[in-house]
Amino acid sequence: MTGRIVVVGASIAGLTVAETLRQEGFAGEIVLVGDEPHLPYTRPPLSKQILMGEWEPADAAIRTAAELDGLDIQVRTGCTAIGLDVAARTVHTTDGALAYDEVVIATGTEPRRHPTLPGALMLRTMDDAVALRQRLRSARRVAVVGSGILGSEIASAARKHDADTLLIGRSGALGFGGVGTLLSKELIRLHEEHGVELALHTEIESMDASASGTSHLRLVGGGERAADLVVAMIGGSPRVAWLSGAGLDLADGVVCDVVGRAVPGVWAVGDVAAWTDPATGAPRRIEHQSYAIEQALSVALRLAHGAESPAPVPLFWSEIHGTRIQSYGWFDTTRPLADITGDDDARGRLYGSHDDDGELRGVVGWNATPRAFRAARAAIHIPAAPITAAL
């Protein structure tokens, strides 16, 4: 295949599409469009190594400018997509129109702003992470609002910087990616062991900042808490506003078929993409970097050769207060995890999620050794699901 492929979104999913196309012999033009001023970088370290002060921004870079030039990939940084004309096969950007033969959407998600905390910091970009790290270094009292994995990671970073830390949520439980709240008790215990104060049945009514810079959080039902720094991470929304009027199904991100195609000539990968699950027939968005990479590889192979590749399997990891937590597979969040720790892992734990037939469908490693987690992954039942969609 030749022609021009435009990839909108210059993070790991978009870059993987572009790189794989070249590696697979695609000889046409590749344009990678990113709205940030930076070259592509990997995002998971933003809430981990960058916030902890273990990495500098350059450490998160995926490729240098010279490496990208060597692949003959046109990278347009600081260029924002503002519209898509499917009939004319054109992406409209702040730098002008880009005609395409195929377009891959990889614009990810953006944090939801808390309705009563307009001044709270959020985390999405490298610049956000650097600014937040600087604030964490001087803050003595940090309030983190959000009971998902990013809330837990930011609370962990705050404690690493020696701040008194309050983690606020309203659901009463802590979440971990596709595992949902099945690890909530373990996460609660982990935070408490490391000095994080938890307020997990708490809603915030308003926030006021004093002249000294202290923020005062007024709680629903009474009470007030003060903090030098407030961070709100209450989930993300797919970045699809620029696609309004394009005629795509945007029910939850860009809805695609089982191979990532939204309509002829338009594909989507990563956190913005809701691929149809071949097992259930329902579209599903999965916000895991490894899943985004697998989707990107699959789309690039299909564009380059029309080749099929195995359906992606979700893989997710985090490190909270020095504890490494990994998950692989699919989880029934309506039933508890089973302890499947074997004799090979003396210091960590392994948990499994089974389907109605007793087949292992998902595993969690809680400080598990690499060997034990690999063995557990290998035992997961992955049903064969033929992918027959044609270009």
Q: What is the pLDDT of residues 258-295, one digit of tens each?
A: 999 999 999 999 999 999 988 788 999 999 899 999 99
Give me the pLDDT at residue 119, please: 84
How confident is the prediction for the chain on average, in pLDDT?
A: 93
Nearest Cα to Cα of residue 62 among 78, 47, 44, 76: 44
Tell me the Cα Rg of the chain.
22
Give me the pLDDT at residue 93, please: 98
CATH 3.50.50.60 fits 113-234, yes or no: yes
SS3 string, 357-390, reads CCCEEEEEEECCCHHHHHHHHHCCCCCCCCCCCC
Give me the pLDDT at residue 116, please: 92
Burial 306-329 (b: 16+ CB within 10 A, else e): eeeeebbbbbbbbbbbebebbbbb
On the 0-12 / 13-18 / 19+ scale of CB atoms within 10 A, 96 is exposed
CA distance 72 to 22: 8
Q: How confident is the model at residue 389 (pLDDT cuts 50, 70, 90)?
A: very low
Give me the pLDDT at residue 386, please: 40
Give me the pLDDT at residue 385, please: 46
Contact assessment for residue 296 and residue 145, using Cβ atoms and an 8 Å cutoff? no
Q: How confident is the model at residue 384 (pLDDT cuts 50, 70, 90)?
A: low
Beta bridge partners of 96: 93
Q: How confident is the model at residue 391 (pLDDT cuts 50, 70, 90)?
A: very low
Q: What is the pLDDT of residues 166-209, one digit of tens each?
A: 999 999 999 998 899 999 999 999 999 999 999 999 999 999 98
> Percent of the chain beyond pLDDT 70?
96
Q: What is the pLDDT of residues 181-193, one digit of tens each?
A: 999 999 999 999 9
Q: What is the pLDDT of residues 150-161, one digit of tens each?
A: 999 999 999 999
DSSP SS3 for 85: strand
Q: How confident is the model at residue 212 (pLDDT cuts 50, 70, 90)?
A: confident
Q: What is the pLDDT of residues 54-76, one digit of tens each?
A: 999 999 999 999 999 999 999 99
Q: Which fold has domain 4-110+237-305?
A: FAD/NAD(P)-binding domain (3.50.50)
Q: How confident is the model at residue 308 (pLDDT cuts 50, 70, 90)?
A: confident
pTM: 0.91
Angle (nearest 5°) at CA 44 between 40 and 46: 80
- Poorest-pLDDT segment among 28-32, 62-66, 84-88, 275-279: 275-279
Average pLDDT over residues 104-112: 96
Give me the pLDDT at residue 312, please: 79
Q: How confident is the model at residue 232 (pLDDT cuts 50, 70, 90)?
A: very high
CA distance 256 to 226: 45
- Check whether 117 has a pLDDT greater than 70: yes
Ramachandran angles phi, psi of 263, nearest 5°: -145, 165
**Where do you find CATH 3.50.50.60 in the chain?**
4-110+237-305, 113-234
Q: How confident is the model at residue 307 (pLDDT cuts 50, 70, 90)?
A: confident
CA distance 72 to 151: 39
Q: How confident is the model at residue 343 (pLDDT cuts 50, 70, 90)?
A: low
Q: Which two tokens stand for residue 308?
A: 């099929």
- Check whether 370 has a pLDDT greater than 60: yes
